[in-house]
């Protein structure tokens, strides 16, 4: 199964101008490109967003990994949870990381500023055009299914889901109905909760509608522009079992899925660009009951924080509804990020009839056992496995293991440092501390910093071997991070005379100097102010240029102050 | 009336040979075709558009290359051949309407694969021909643009949905045309116009660029004045198309039809004592017994089909009755299947991206509804509604799922029939050409007249129709041969031997009958 090549849209198709006016006036000469360029759509978020994914969550403090419970008390939530159990399931749409679209060869490059340039007869639904499935989509979706613990279908097929909407070029979506690529999976969240994965199936994205004349909202807009660059982008839809019980669970599930998909290269999981979209279904039931009650679907969740907050909001809202006798309707609600509330978008009246039937343009696909096994063999170590190994093999704390494994490149950096001889807990300490601070501040990827894993290993080994002090290391670090000290940490330390001083005589000389300058404080110490010992240690350390061996220094200071030496 | 001895076995080959040898220019061939269109089409109305200038220009390019001795040009099997293309096949830069108002003004950005292959083979497209709107109909009368008449009798329909293709060939304006066949749309008009049509095995010819009616049934195929020419056109357009059509395939490539036909010729001439030989020795032909006794089959048609079987027997074939017991169910299964798919296939015509769009609608939704209501003709609207119904929750099991089951059962029946036969034979259509207006008068009752053509469509099998008689009114009768999957060779061999040894082709020469 080969990768399909990206092929640019035909010039004719690219030149097409797509304007759907509610007055149905084709605005002549109005090119979607120029109109969109001037609108708020597209914005500058793309440039920023794409950098975000390498951000290293600093230590446990910034992650949910450290504190499992919500920090501040929430009496409203407590009141609801006393009587009700939240039941939460999540549907995720994730863009699969292919170069070309699901059923044609157009580029998948995110390009909102140049609408209708990555298009061809297929993704425009031109008459006579036919979908040809991208083999790479099948491979990635199958691997994602495996990583989510799903069993992979040996025969899978595509179906048409029929509905009319201007963003759907064929007015049906090619998706999978009764034979999805993967089913019956399960993932383990860092907080220990297991969540069932009902199914994963392949489908195609719709075009992007940009409503005009009323901000970006549909209500009140005069017309809409349609950008078909997104039409036909390959997606996987991943449906969970209703196994989650809190907003935190929901956010953790989303994060874990994002990690897994990034680990196996299935998706960049970028929420800001819409590569990862979560819809959360929330319902409540009386504690101890196993019924499934009317659920509400939450949309417009653009961050995991939004997932957590909106879910918790919805739990409380529904709890209040039950208490006041208000009916919960099956509806879709949008999260308002500013007001921190969910707002009704539409009420679902009965099930839509999508008239699914097998896609006659794509024959069913048989996946031989050998192909599936080959893909399975290509899977990397998954986040949960890595976390467990870091804890058992490297004795990292749960929180540290979660933070380091959060980004595969960081984990790889960590493992490379260990391979180069670094002590795991020391390496972890530096990565989660100074290195994380630097990476986040400079907004660079850990793979791009000057302090390579072997250099970190060397530095850590020098500290542990007592050759340099931690303070010296901290002094050297900015230079190391920026790519100085190419000859190695030891060479620089030696060249600059930064090695630790362990010679007692030298240290005694330093301490003596400090004592002589601070005779009054010596008197006070000897008069009973024992806490002044710290002052002498600090001053002596500074005078030694941070090079004095801390243990030796402390001993010497104590002995000299006490006059035992 | 000309005699069969005077008929070339392949006017197409003669024309191409003349161009290659410099004996005739491609330009003169095209000009002749354009002249004939000018003379005949005022009455026949087969063409929706004629690309005269572009065709002449393409011909001149070919003539220059021939004059320069360009080897690549001289290797092209259809060099300089004027052809017509059904208007549901996309032609880059040339309006393509599927005979629907909803595609008025639509100009495709690409060529259908079959069209591209025709061009690559050296053929020159002179025009786009009429059809039933979106291929939904069997007389070409559902076209939103014009009524095409049967060149054999202008008071009658040419058949459909590829009525324009068959009429263009039968009226002598081109030697060959592309048609499409979903449930008989090549074979039935070929039969009614007295020409030859081949519906290849499903997947033999790429559907890319064919405006879909029913994706699991649609086939592109040739219509020509004789078997050899139809085979030559089929050879040019066949082949897998992995980049553009996931359902196109070629588990068994087509044979060299030239060699097959020469073999038949040799056997015909090599008969003992100078008599006619037996080129079909060993060929097992199954006569579908239900087809000759089904209600609605005109006695003349049944008799002609039986006579055709006898003629094949005289050529060496062994004839035996075979049974397709579920034949009566096939039409219903076909329509449920085809219309279900059509309801989705035609959903894309919404006026958003191309084609006609209703004006002055107050909302996108209103625009969609009005565009589709105004853009589709009554027959198409009816079929979309029926198909939508067949797939709807609560009805899909009774209709769509049952149709699928019948279709699966049909494959079993065919497998049994082909265990004892290489080729199956039955009439192409139960009657000769309808009078104009009959289709509308009959309403859905006309669907039942697809009885003989839909089985091969549902099973994806190749089938060929060729003239085997005329009725009392002088209208042509066609006989259908159905082959096993990928076995077009047997059809062509049997049909060619039959055509060479009977005089129906001579009695039905192309051109307007006065």
User: Does A40 or A220 have the greater pLDDT score?
Assistant: A220
**Average pLDDT of the segment spanning B197-214:** 98
Residue B403 placed within a domain: no
Is residue A117 scored above 60 in pLDDT?
yes
Question: Is pLDDT at A440 greater than 60 in this prediction?
Answer: yes
Band of pLDDT at residue B456, cut at 50, 70 and 90 = very high
CB contact under 8 A, B110 and A10: yes
Note the ipTM here: 0.95
**Which is more confident, A502 or A297?**
A297
Q: Inform me whether the pLDDT recorded for A448 exceeds 70.
A: yes
pLDDT at A364: 96
- Let me know: does A278 contact A92? Beta carbons within 8 Å: yes
pLDDT at B271: 64
- Measured in angstroms, the CA of B441 and the nearest CA of chain A are apart by 31
Structure token pair of residue B305: 């089909």
Q: How would you label A102-139 residue by residue, b for 16+ Cβ within 10 Å and e otherwise?
A: bbbbbbbebbbbbbbbbbbbbbbbbbbbbbbbbebbbb
Start-end of CATH 1.10.10 domains in chain A: 504-562
**For this structure, is B185 an active site residue?**
yes
* A108: Cβ contacts below 8 Å, ≥ 6 apart: A6, A95, A98, A99, A100, A101, A118, A233, A234
Residues B353, A126: C-beta atoms closer than 8 Å: yes
DSSP assignments along B426-480, one per residue: EESSSSSPPBTTHHHHHGGGGGGGGTTTHHHHHHT--EEEEEEEE-TTS-EEEEE
Q: Which CATH number covers residue B66?
A: 3.90.1300.10
B443 domain-assigned: no
**Can you tell me whether residue B223 is helix, strand or coil?**
strand
User: pLDDT above 90 covers what percent of chain B?
Assistant: 87
A386/B361: higher pLDDT: A386
Domain that holds residue B164: 4-265+461-507
Higher pLDDT, B89 or A36: B89
The per-residue pLDDT for B277 is 85
Q: For all residues of chain B together, what is the average pLDDT?
A: 94
CA distance A302 to chain B (A): 28
pLDDT tens for A259-270 read 999 999 999 999
Ramachandran bin of B331, using left for φ above 0, alpha for ψ from -120 to 50, beta for the remaining angles: alpha
SS3 B76: coil
Q: Is B215 a catalytic residue?
A: no
> Nearest CA to B429 among B158, B188, B180, B197?
B188
Quick one: pLDDT band at residue A72, thresholds 50, 70, 90?
Answer: low
| pTM metric for this prediction | 0.87
From the candidate CATH numbers 1.10.760, 3.90.226, 3.20.20, 1.10.10, the one assigned to the domain spanning A504-562: 1.10.10
**Selection from B301, B63, B106, B114 nearest residue B192 by Cα:** B301
Cα gap B101→A326, rounded to integer Å: 52
Residue in A with minimal Cα distance to B400: A357
Establish if B294 belongs to a structural domain: no
Which residues in chain A have their CB less than 8 angstroms from residue B350's CB? 164, 166, 171
Closest CA to B261 of B485, B462, B483, B499: B499
Looking at residue A564, its pLDDT comes to 67
* pLDDT attached to residue A333: 93
In sequence order, what are the residues at sequence separation of 6 or more whose Cβ sits closer than 8 angstroms to the Cβ of residue B358? Answer: A24, B351, B366, B367, B370, B371, B373, B374, B375
**Residue A29: how many other CB atoms lie within 10 Å:** 7
- Say if B368 is an interface residue toward chain A (CB within 8 Å): yes
Please indicate whether, in this complex, the C-beta atoms of B112 and A13 are within 8 angstroms of each other: no
- Residue B1's pLDDT band, with cuts at 50, 70 and 90, is very low
Query: A-chain residues within 8 Å CB-CB of B89?
Result: 128
For residue B18, the model assigns a pLDDT of 97
- Reply yes or no on whether B199 is catalytic: no
**Chain pair A-B, CB pairs under 8 angstroms:** 134
Q: Tell me how many degrees the CA angle A458-A460-A461 measures, rounded to the nearest 5.
A: 65
Chain B positions touching A357 (Cβ under 8 A) are: 340-341, 344, 391, 396, 400
> Which helix or strand (DSSP H or E) is residue A197 part of?
strand A194-204
Answer yes or no: is pLDDT of A27 > 70: no
Query: Among A53-67, A286-300, B400-414, which is the least confidently predicted range?
Result: A53-67
Binding-face residues of B in 198-237 toward A, CB within 8 A:
207-212, 214-216
Q: Of these residues, B161, B165, B390, B465, which one is catalytic?
A: B161
Categorize the per-residue pLDDT at A489 as very low, low, confident or very high, splitting at 50, 70 and 90.
confident
Contact A363 B247 (CB under 8 A): yes
Q: A365-369, B166-170, B294-298: lowest mean pLDDT where? A: B294-298
pLDDT computed for residue A170 by the predictor = 97
Indicate the DSSP class of residue B238: B
Give the model confidence (pLDDT) of B35-60 as tens digits.
999 999 999 999 999 999 999 999 99
Q: Would an 8 Å CB–CB cutoff place A171 in contact with chain B?
A: yes
pLDDT number for residue B272: 59
CA distance B400 to chain A (A): 9
The whole-number average pLDDT for the span B194-217 is 98
Residue A15 or residue B485, greater confidence? B485
Kindly indicate the confidence band of residue A55, based on its pLDDT and cuts at 50, 70 and 90: low
Q: Assign B275 a pLDDT band (cuts: 50, 70, 90).
A: low
The answer to whether residue B12 sits within a structural domain is: yes
- Partner residue opposite A363 with nearest CB, options B246, B341, B350: B246
Q: Is residue B125 part of a domain?
A: yes
CA of B202 to nearest chain A CA: how many angstroms apart? 12
B500 pLDDT band, cuts 50/70/90, is very high
Chain B residues whose beta carbon lies within 8 Å of the beta carbon of residue A13: 109
Q: Which of residues 228-267 of A touch B (CB under 8 A)?
A: 228
- Mean per-residue pLDDT of chain A: 84
**Inside any domain, residue B312:** no
Pick from A48, A101, A72: nearest CA to A234: A101
Mutate to test the interface with B, among A22, A104, A127, A365 (most CBs of B within 10 A): A127
What integer is the mean pLDDT of A279-302?
Answer: 92
Q: Comparing C-alpha atoms, which of B192, B205, B188 is closest to residue B149?
A: B192
> B10 falls in which pLDDT band (50, 70, 90)?
very high
pLDDT at A53 over 50: no
Mean pLDDT of B192-216: 98
Residue B514's pLDDT band, with cuts at 50, 70 and 90, is low
- Top pLDDT among B491 and A494 is at B491
Q: Is the pLDDT of residue B402 over 70?
A: yes
- How many domains does the structure of chain B reveal? 1
Residue B440 falls inside a structural domain: no
Which tens digits make up the pLDDT trace of B230-256? 999 999 999 999 999 999 988 999 999
Give the one of A128, A171, A351 whose C-beta lies nearest to B210's C-beta.
A128
CA distance B105 to chain A (A): 13
- Residue B158 pLDDT class (50, 70, 90 cuts): very high
B453 contacts chain A (CB < 8 A): no
- Give, for A162, the enclosing helix (H) or strand (E): strand A159-162
User: How many residues are recorded in chain B?
Assistant: 514
Q: What is the pLDDT of residue A488?
A: 80
Give the model's pLDDT for residue B326.
Answer: 84
């Amino acid at each position: 199964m080969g990768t399909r090549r990206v092929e640019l849209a035909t010039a004719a198709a690219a030149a097409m101008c797509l304007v759907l006016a509610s007055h149905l006036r084709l605005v002549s000469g109005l090119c979607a490109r120029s109109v969109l360029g001037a609108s708020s759509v597209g914005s500058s978020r793309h440039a920023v967003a794409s950098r975000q994914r390498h951000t290293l969550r600093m230590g446990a403090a910034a992650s949910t990994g450290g504190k499992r419970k919500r920090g501040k008390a929430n009496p409203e939530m407590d009141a609801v949870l006393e009587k009700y159990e939240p039941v939460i399931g999540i549907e995720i749409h994730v863009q699969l990381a292919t170069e070309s679209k699901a059923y044609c060869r157009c580029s998948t490059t995110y390009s909102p500023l140049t609408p209708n340039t990555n298009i061809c007869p297929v993704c425009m639904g031109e008459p006579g055009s036919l979908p040809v499935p991208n083999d790479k989509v099948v491979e990635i979706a199958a691997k994602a299914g495996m990583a989510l613990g799903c069993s992979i279908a040996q025969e899978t097929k595509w179906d048409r889901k029929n509905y009319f909407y201007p963003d759907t070029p064929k007015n049906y979506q090619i998706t999978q109905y009764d034979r999805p690529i993967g089913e019956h999976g399960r993932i383990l969240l860092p907080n220990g909760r297991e969540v069932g994965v009902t199914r994963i199936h392949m489908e195609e994205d719709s075009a992007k509608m940009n409503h005009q004349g009323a901000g970006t909202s549909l209500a009140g807009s005069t017309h809409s522009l349609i950008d078909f660059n997104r039409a036909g982008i390959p997606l996987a839809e991943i449906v969970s079992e209703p196994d989650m019980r809190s907003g935190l669970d929901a956010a953790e599930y989303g994060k874990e899925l994002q990690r897994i998909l990034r680990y196996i290269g299935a998706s960049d999981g970028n929420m800001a660009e819409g590569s990862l979209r979560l819809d959360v279904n929330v319902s409540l039931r009386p504690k101890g009951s196993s019924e499934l009650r009317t659920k509400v679907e939450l949309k417009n969740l653009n961050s995991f924080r939004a997932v957590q907050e909106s879910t918790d909001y919805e739990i409380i809202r529904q709890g209040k509804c039950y208490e006041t006798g208000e009916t919960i309707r099956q509806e879709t609600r949008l999260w308002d990020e500013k007001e921190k509330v969910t707002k009704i978008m539409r009420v679902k009246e009965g099930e839509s009839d999508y008239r699914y039937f097998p896609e006659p343009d794509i024959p069913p696909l048989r996946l031989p056992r050998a192909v599936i096994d080959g893909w399975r063999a290509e899977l990397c170590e998954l986040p949960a496995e890595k976390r467990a190994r870091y804890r058992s093999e490297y004795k990292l704390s749960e929180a540290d293991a979660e933070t380091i494994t959060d980004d595969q490149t960081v984990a790889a950096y960590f493992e490379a440092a260990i391979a180069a001889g670094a002590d795991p807990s020391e390496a972890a300490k530096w990565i989660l501390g100074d290195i994380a601070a630097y990476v986040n501040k400079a907004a660079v990827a850990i793979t791009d910093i000057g302090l390579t894993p072997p250099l970190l290993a060397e530095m850590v080994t020098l500290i542990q071997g007592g050759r340099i002090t931690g303070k010296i290391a901290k002094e050297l670090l900015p230079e190391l991070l920026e790519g100085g000290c190419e000859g190695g940490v030891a060479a620089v330390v030696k060249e600059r005379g930064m090695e630790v001083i362990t010679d007692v005589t030298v240290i005694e000389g330093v301490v003596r100097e400090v004592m002589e300058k601070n005779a009054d404080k010596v008197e006070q110490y000897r008069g009973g102010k024992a806490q002044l010992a710290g002052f002498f240690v600090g001053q002596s350390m500074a005078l030694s240029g941070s090079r004095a061996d801390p243990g030796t220094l402390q001993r010497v200071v104590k002995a000299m102050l006490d006059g035992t030496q | 009336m000309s005699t069969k001895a005077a008929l070339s076995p392949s006017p197409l080959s003669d024309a191409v040979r003349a161009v290659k040898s410099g004996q005739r220019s491609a330009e003169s061939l095209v000009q002749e075709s354009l002249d004939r269109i000018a003379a005949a089409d005022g009455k026949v109305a087969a063409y929706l558009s004629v690309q005269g200038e572009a065709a002449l220009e393409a011909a001149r390019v070919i003539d220059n290359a021939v004059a320069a001795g360009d080897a690549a040009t001289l290797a092209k099997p259809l060099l300089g051949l004027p052809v017509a293309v059904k208007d549901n096949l996309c032609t880059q830069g040339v309006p393509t309407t599927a005979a629907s108002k909803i595609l008025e003004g639509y100009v495709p950005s690409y060529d259908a694969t079959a069209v591209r292959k025709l061009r690559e083979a050296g053929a020159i497209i002179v025009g786009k021909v009429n059809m039933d709107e979106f291929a939904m109909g069997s007389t070409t009368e559902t076209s939103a643009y014009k009524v095409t008449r049967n060149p054999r009798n202008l008071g009658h329909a040419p058949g459909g949905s590829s009525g324009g293709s068959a009429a263009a060939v039968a009226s002598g304006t081109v030697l060959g045309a592309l048609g499409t066949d979903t449930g008989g749309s090549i074979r039935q008009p070929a039969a009614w116009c007295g020409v030859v049509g081949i519906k290849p095995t499903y997947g033999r010819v790429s559907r890319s660029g064919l405006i879909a009616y029913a994706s699991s049934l649609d086939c592109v195929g040739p219509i020509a004045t004789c078997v050899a020419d139809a085979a030559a056109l089929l050879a040019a357009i066949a082949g897998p198309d992995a980049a553009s059509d996931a359902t196109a395939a070629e588990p068994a490539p087509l044979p060299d039809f030239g060699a097959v036909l020469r073999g038949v010729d040799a056997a015909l001439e090599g008969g003992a004592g100078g008599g006619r030989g037996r080129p079909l020795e060993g060929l097992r032909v199954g006569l579908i017994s239900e087809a000759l006794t089904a209600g609605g089959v005109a006695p003349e048609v049944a008799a002609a089909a039986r006579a055709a079987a006898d003629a094949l027997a005289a050529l060496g074939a062994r004839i035996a009755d075979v049974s397709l017991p579920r034949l009566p169910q096939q039409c219903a299964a076909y329509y449920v299947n085809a219309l279900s798919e059509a309801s989705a296939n035609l959903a894309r015509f919404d006026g958003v991206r191309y084609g006609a769009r209703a004006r002055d609608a107050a909302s996108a939704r209103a625009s969609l509804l009005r565009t589709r209501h105004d853009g589709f003709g009554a027959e198409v609207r009816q079929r979309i509604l029926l198909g939508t119904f067949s797939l709807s929750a609560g009805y899909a099991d009774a209709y769509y799922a049952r149709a699928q089951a019948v279709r699966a059962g049909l494959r079993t029946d065919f497998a049994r029939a082909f265990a004892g036969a290489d080729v199956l034979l039955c009439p192409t259509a139960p009657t000769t050409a309808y009078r104009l207006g009959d289709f509308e008068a009959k309403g859905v009752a006309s669907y039942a007249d697809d009885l003989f053509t839909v089985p091969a469509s549902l099973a994806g099998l190749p089938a060929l129709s060729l003239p085997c008689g005329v009725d009392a009114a002088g209208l042509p009768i066609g006989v259908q041969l159905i082959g096993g999957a990928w076995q077009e060779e047997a059809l062509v061999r049997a049909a060619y031997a039959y055509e060479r040894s009977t005089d129906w082709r001579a009695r039905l020469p192309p051109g307007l009958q006065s």
